[in-house]
Amino acid sequence: MPGNPNKNGIPKKRMERFVYWTLGLLLFWAGAVSATDLDAQRSAFRKAIMQAESGNWARVEPWLSQLEDYPLYPDLRAGWLRNRLGRVPDAEVAEFLAAYPDLGFTPGLRKAWAESLARRGRWETFLEVYEAHFADGDSTVFHCNALEARIRLERTQGVVDDGIAVWLSPYSQPSACDPVFAWLKDTGALAPEHVTERTSLALEAGQFQLARYLARSGPAGEKARVETWAGMHADPARRLARLEGSGSDDRALMLYGLKRLASRDPARAAALWERYDSRLGLSGDAADAVQRRIALIHAWRHLAMGRGLLSALPDSAVDDDVRVWRFRLALRDQDWTGAALYLEDLPDGIDGDQDGRTFWQARAMEASGDEAAARVLYEDLAGHRGYHAFLAADRIGADYQWRHAEAVPDEALIEELETRRDILRAREYFFTGFNYRGRREWRRALATLNDAEKAQASIVAHRWGWHSRAIATASKTGLANDLEIRYPLPWRQWFEQKSTAARIPAPWAYGIARSESLFMPDVASSAGAIGLMQLMPDTGKRTARAARMPYRGVQTLRDPASNITLGTRYLGDMLNRFGQNRVLATAAYNAGPHRVERWLPKDAQLPADIWVETVPYSETRGYVRRVLAAEAVFHWRMNERTRRLAEVMPPVKPTGGG
Give the catalytic positions in this structure.
Answer: 516
Cβ pair 208, 172 in contact under 8 A? no
Q: What is the DSSP string of 213-258?
A: HHHTTS-TTHHHHHHHHHHHHH-HHHHHHHHHHHT---HHHHHHHH
CB within 8 A of 651, min separation 6: which ones?
A: 605, 606, 607, 608
Distance separating alpha carbons of residues 570 and 540, to the nearest angstrom = 8
Strand partners, 88: 85
Question: E strand or H helix at 539, and its extent?
Answer: helix 537-547
Helices (H) and strands (E) in the chain, counts: 39, 0
d(CA 532, CA 559): 9
Kindly compute the dihedral angle of the four CA atoms of residues 586, 591, 597, 600, in this order, to the nearest 10 degrees: -70
Residues in the chain: 658
CA distances from 326 to 149, 222, 266, 317, 337 (A): 53, 42, 17, 13, 12
Q: What is the largest CA-CA distance in the chain?
A: 89
Three-state secondary-structure class, residue 370: coil
CA quadruple 427, 429, 432, 433: dihedral sign: negative
The candidate with the shortest Cα–Cα distance to 228, out of 206, 196, 253, is 253
Sequence-distant (≥ 6) Cβ neighbours of residue 414 within 8 angstroms: 456, 459, 460
Whole-angstrom CA distances from 480 to 400, 484, 643, 645 are: 17, 10, 21, 21
Cβ-contact 485, 479 below 8 angstroms: yes
Q: Which of 199, 193, 244, 207 is nearest to 225 (CA)?
A: 199
Q: Which of 645, 575, 652 is nearest to 607 (CA)?
A: 652
